[in-house]
Amino acid sequence: MKKSQNNTNVDDVQALTTKKSLMMSLMKMPTPAEFFAEYILTGVASWDEINVLGHNNVKSLLARARENEKSETNEIERLQNRKGLFEAALKWLMLNPGKCAGDYFAELAKSYDNPQFKPNEIGKRPGSWGDDLEPLTLESETRKAGSTNFNICGWCNHSGGGSCRYNYKISTCCQLLATYPEAVAREWMKDYLSLNGDNPNELKFNTPCLMQKLTAREVEAILSGIDFNIHVALTKRETVRAVINKLLEQRRATNEIIKPWLVGNRPCEYMNVGDPMVVYSGGWGKDCIVKGDWINAIGIFGYRHHDGCLSYQAQFPIHTNASHYEGRGGGAGMSRPEALLATEFALLVSMVQKLGPKETYAELMKSTGTSNPDQAFMRIWFRNIERQKLKGFSCEKFFEALKSPDFATPPAGWIPPTEDIKVETVKDAEHVLQMLDSKLFKTEDEVTRWTNMQLRVVHPDKHQSSSPEVQAYAARQTKAVIAARDMLLKLRKEA
pLDDT tens for each residue of 38-57: 989 999 989 999 999 999 99
Q: How confident is the model at residue 80 (pLDDT cuts 50, 70, 90)?
A: very high
Query: In the predicted model, what is the mean pLDDT of residues 410-416?
Result: 87
Q: How confident is the model at residue 385 (pLDDT cuts 50, 70, 90)?
A: very high
What is the model's pLDDT at position 284? 80
191-200, 207-216, 327-336, range with the lowest pLDDT: 191-200
Q: Is the pLDDT of residue 466 over 60?
A: yes
% the chain with pLDDT above 70: 90
Q: Which residue has better confidence, 369 or 129?
A: 369
28-37, 201-210, 239-248, range with the lowest pLDDT: 201-210
Q: How confident is the model at residue 197 (pLDDT cuts 50, 70, 90)?
A: very low
Mean pLDDT, the chain, rounded, equals 90
What is the model's pLDDT at position 463? 97
C-alpha span between 168 and 142 (Å, rounded): 10
Q: Which residue has better confidence, 416 or 111?
A: 111
Q: What is the pLDDT of residues 138-156, one digit of tens each?
A: 999 999 999 999 999 999 9
Decide if 311 contacts 331 (C-beta within 8 A).
Answer: yes
C-alpha span between 12 and 449 (Å, rounded): 61
Q: Which residue has better confidence, 200 or 41?
A: 41
Q: Is the pLDDT of residue 120 over 80?
A: yes
Q: How confident is the model at residue 128 (pLDDT cuts 50, 70, 90)?
A: confident
Tell me the pTM. Answer: 0.83
Q: What is the pLDDT of residues 218-252, one digit of tens each?
A: 899 889 889 999 999 999 999 999 999 999 999 99
